[in-house]
Chain A
Amino acid sequence: MRSSKKSKIGFGIFVTVTVLIMIFPFVWQAVTSLKSPGEIFRVPPSIFPDKLYTQNYKDVFTAGVPFHWYLRNSVIVAGLTTLICLIVGSFASYVLARFKFRGQALFLGLLLAVAMFPQVAIISPLFLFFRDIGLLNTYPGLILPYTTFALPLTIWILTSFFRELPVDLEDAALIDGCSPFQSFYRIIVPLAAPGMVTTAILVFIFAWNEFLFALIFNTANHMRTVTVGITMFPGLHEVPWGTIFAASTIITLPLVLMVLVLQKRIVQGLTAGSVKG
């Protein structure tokens, strides 16, 4: 039909424009990272580099800053934070969604309060605390605070997802002889996949990009994370823009790839099959 073709084209344009706006700065950054220093600040700016200048990317790893260590550290910290948040969070969300018990509202409220407290204020006491228990310049030293700050979001998201799922499924599973744990892992988790994957992505990105705690807690060069690592490129007054943009592109790409891979797991709604079962 004509109207559906028009709406398809309109739709396509809409999508294209949206995508362009969202990725334009990133593309601009990537283009800039391939320019030589003199080109970057030319007026008016050139759309494409005169020549592909890959030295910036080489400099990221050879400019005396151990960027590969930073990448490794960020992967470990963000990865473990996400894993722990999902596990611990889903347990808590499950009972918050399914059961009514005393202290529930208080717990949810306190969760929010904790996540929302200004970091500037708690960084000092936390620094002292972690120093005294020897967790500075370690992975747990970052994973623990990150988990603390990401759990509230995790729990709130997952709770709302678990609430949407019909109770009959678990009842059926329990009647079939599953333990609460089994019903949880076999039935609930797969159905709440959209929520779980979304949460995983958001938590990972939060932990990956966190700056203040990573700056203050992990000062040893071999334990630094990537976001602080980028601030290690500038010298006295001078800022190597090309290198920084190259590093930033390198940092962002794994995240994008991760999302590309994971998003296939965001399943479309409740399929007829599972409801029947």
Chain B
Amino acid sequence: MKSIILHSFLIFILFTGCSPEEDVTTITFNLGRDPTGAHYAIIELFEETYPDIKVQVVESPQDASLQHDLYVTRFAGKDNSIDVIALDVIWIAEFARAGWLLPLDDLAVELPMDDFLPGPVEACTYRDSLFAIPWFTDAGLLYYRQDLLNEYGFDEPETWNDLQIIVDTIRRDNPQLSGFLLQAEQYEGLICNVMEFIWSHGGSVWDKSGHWHTATPETEKAIQTLIDFIRTDDIIPRGVLTYQEEESRHVFQDGRAIFLRNWPYVWELANNPATGSNVVGKVGIAPLPGEKPGLHAATLGGWNLGISAYSDHPDESRKLISFFMEYDHMKQFSLDGGRLPTRMSIYKDPDILQRSPHFEDLFEVFINARPRPVTPHYSQISDIMQVYIHRALLERITVREALDRIDGEVLALFERYGK
């Protein structure tokens, strides 16, 4: 009996799955779920422009690690069901090395690549070939309570020292407020935050000749600063060790913190009463401070469009990517979805500036946002760094020991597999 049920289902599914053959090529557009649905409008335009190409949108859960699992499983099986794919900045070197992406140098020739932000382009490049075209970007920013800073007569902090002074002063009268919030749980976001601290102290994970070396005085100082801020609990509350983006946003939005490091998405939410924000109209936004004035750092996020190496329709896929990258289309997508465009000229567009006036001031941040280490090993490196740095933040090991261990394991990886 059960086999009859099984068989009926198989037949049912087969029949409902069939569709008549036409002279139409269907390509799949794979991305994480986007509640704004901004991409649908562009795709509609695309299908009108190219009547012989149909685009099937395949949305996965937005969670980056779930998407990564899905794509790894499919690519490992040389699955041809993926054509155009939206890639997280940190996957590109990995997928490129694995041979899962088509090099897009020929496409790049047709596009005005000079107009694209340099950071994302760097993240999309592996061994001098471009494997994805930047679609929209993300960068770490400093949010602050404009009203509080005004009340105490402070300007935006230029250095971490400035930030410390501001927090100390304001908290003296308002001890219930948290000073500076960021994301320091043991997860990918920790590395975003830590890299910003490292870069803003003039440190790096690579040395001048491009070799991996984290155990430098600058990097050590950067992480030690972070630890000191957390330990005293006066500058950074200990809770950040358990926070991801949303937890930190809620505390800030509720009005319980002075500073917040987060992605640009917070801006619209914090200024929207419908989200229950208590800080509507009170929020300022600025580049993150540095050790010295002018040493601003921001970690690059964002998503980029690539083509699967196993796709049966690379030409049609190229057309779709080109289409998204056209000025008008990227502009419309950014407006509808509230996204940061990757083409620099769009940042001067009056419509964009009207919707998001803060883009003008923050353009400096976006143009200088740096990618996390661009290497196929990034996933593993991130994991290694997370483990040791989190231990250092908990003060179970010293910063020096953490960095030495990180260096040891990463160099062993490079030795075993090549960079």
**Residues of A near any B CB (own CB < 8 A):** 36-43, 63-65, 80, 83-84, 87-88, 123-124, 127-128, 131, 138-140, 143, 215-216, 219-221, 228, 231-239
Tier of interface size on chain B? 35 or more
Given contacts A37-B276, A237-B245, contact A231 B61 (CB under 8 A): yes
Taking CB atoms and an 8 Å cut-off, the chain B residues in 33-76 that contact chain A are 33-37, 58-63, 66, 69-70, 73-74, 76
Assess whether A131 is in contact with B33, with CB atoms less than 8 Å apart. no
Check B62 against A41 for contact (C-beta < 8 Å): no
Q: Does B6 reach chain A (CB closer than 8 Å)?
A: yes
Q: Which residue from chain A places its CB closest to the CB of B12 in the assembled complex?
A: A139
Q: Let me know if B161 is at the binding interface, CB within 8 A.
A: no
Among the interface residues B37, B61, B79, B269, which one has the most CB atoms of the partner chain A within 10 A?
B61
Say yes or no: A215 contacts B69, CB within 8 Å: yes
- Name the one of A39, A124, A138, A238 contacting B276, with C-beta atoms under 8 angstroms: A39
A215 and B58 in contact (CB under 8 A), knowing A42-B254, A140-B6? no
Q: How far is the CA of A40 from the CA of B63 in the complex (A)?
A: 22
* Complex alpha-carbon distance, A97 and B73, angstroms: 41
Q: Could you tell me if B35 and A128 are in contact, using CB atoms closer than 8 angstroms?
A: no
> Which one, A42, A64, A138, A237, contacts B246 given CB within 8 A?
A237
Q: How far, in angstroms, from A42 to B255 measured CA to CA in the complex? A: 10
The answer on a CB contact under 8 Å between B76 and A138 is no
Instruction: For chain B, residues 239 to 291, give those with C-beta under 8 angstroms from any C-beta of chain A.
Output: 245-246, 250-251, 253-254, 256, 263, 265, 269, 274-278
Give which listed residue, A84, A127, A128, A228, contacts B61 with CB less than 8 A: A228
**Chain B residues whose CB sits within 8 angstroms of the CB of A84 once the complex forms:** 2, 5
A234 to B63, CA, bound (A): 8
B77 touches A221 (CB 8 A): no
**CB-CB < 8 A to B256: which residues of A?**
43
Select the residue from A40, A41, A65, A124 with max chain B CB neighbours within 10 A.
Answer: A41
Q: Tell which of B61, B245, B251, B278 touches A38, judged by Cβ atoms closer than 8 Å.
A: B278
Chain A residues within an 8 Å CB radius of B60: 219
Tell me the bound Cα distance from A220 to B70 in angstroms. Answer: 12
Smallest Cβ-Cβ distance to A39: which chain B residue: B276
B13 interface residue per 8 A CB criterion: yes
New contact pairs (5) apart from A63-B35, A216-B70, A236-B62, CB-CB < 8 Å: A36-B276, A140-B9, A143-B6, A215-B70, A236-B34
The answer for the CA separation of A30 and B246 in the assembled complex, in Å, is 20
B1 at the interface (CB under 8 A from A): yes
Q: Which of B34, B66, B73, B269 meets A123, CB within 8 Å?
A: B73
Chain B CB within 10 Å — which of A80, A215, A236 has the most?
Answer: A236
B246 neighbours in A (Cβ, 8 Å): 237-239
How distant is B337 from chain A, measured CB to nearest CB, in Å? 9
**What are 10 pairs between A and B in contact, CB < 8 Å?**
A41-B254, A138-B9, A139-B9, A140-B10, A143-B6, A219-B70, A221-B58, A235-B34, A236-B34, A237-B265
Known contacts A231-B66, A234-B61; decide if A80 and B276 are in contact (CB<8 Å). Answer: no
Check if A80 sits within 8 Å of B32, measured CB to CB: no
Measured CA separation A235–B246 after assembly (Å)? 12
Do B77 and A128 have beta carbons less than 8 Å apart? Answer: yes
Residue of B nearest to A231 (CB): B61
Q: How far, in whole Å, are A124 and B76 apart by their CA atoms in the complex?
A: 8
A-contact bits for B70-91, CB 8 A (1 contact / 0 none): 1001101101000000000000
* B265 partner residues in chain A, CB cutoff 8 A: 236-238
Residue of A nearest to B56 (CB): A220
User: Complex: how many Å from CA A153 to CA B136?
Assistant: 48
Query: Contact: B77 with A131, CB < 8 Å?
Result: yes
Docked CA distance A24–B165 (Å): 44
A231, B33: Cα distance in complex, Å: 9
Q: Please, which residues of chain B bring their CB within 8 A of the CB of A43? A: 254, 256
A221 CA / B29 CA spacing, docked (Å): 13
Tell me if B73 and A124 are in contact (CB < 8 A): yes
Which chain A residues border B263 with CB–CB below 8 Å? 237
Check if A235 sits within 8 Å of B10, measured CB to CB.
no
Whole-angstrom distance between the Cβ of A215 and the nearest chain B Cβ = 6
Are A232 and B59 also in contact (CB < 8 A) when A64-B37, A124-B77, A138-B13 are?
yes
Please indicate the chain B residues that have their CB under 8 angstroms from the CB of A38 in the complex.
254, 275-278
Return the chain A residue nearest B337 by Cβ. Answer: A236
